[in-house]
Each structure stands twice: as structure tokens, then as C-alpha cells.
Amino acid sequence: MHASDDNLLTVQDVAEILRVPTSWVYERTRRRSIDRIPGFRIGKYWRFRLGDIKVWLEENRHVELTNA
């Protein structure tokens, strides 16, 4: 993981990176979500680390392919 991978991202940042709506990102932060996206709350705001998102995306890329 690079130093820039530790930068904190917002829900909007993650949505732009993944090219999905912000509502999709929020849905993946819920506890009941099977493929929960790694993030944490600071007060009422969700934050994500780029490195964690990259790992999550790689791990879930295979899941999506097998479920298709």
C-alpha cells in the first residue's frame, strides 16, 4: 500500500472511483450487507481508505464474476 492509499475518501469520492451512485456506496456500508465495503464513521460522516477500497474491489471482483 502506498502513502496515498491512506488518504481518507468521502462517499462521493468512492462513488466516483467505482463509477456508481452514492446511494450504492451507502447501501454497502450497512451492517446487513453481505459484501460490505470497508469504511468507518467519523461522527455522522463515512470515510474510506483508498488502499482498503482497492483490496475490497479485488476480493469482490471474483465474487461478482462467479455470481453472474
Q: Write out pLDDT tens, residues 39-55.
A: 999 999 999 999 999 99
Q: What is the pLDDT of residue 31?
A: 79
Among 55, 32, 29, CA closest to 42: 29
In whole angstroms, give the CA distance from residue 24 to residue 58.
18
pLDDT reported for residue 13: 97
Domain boundaries, the chain: 3-67
Cell of 30: 450497512
The pLDDT confidence band at residue 61, using thresholds 50, 70 and 90, is confident
Residue 44 φ then ψ, to 5°: -95, 5
pTM across the whole model: 0.79
Q: What class is the 3-67 domain?
A: mainly alpha
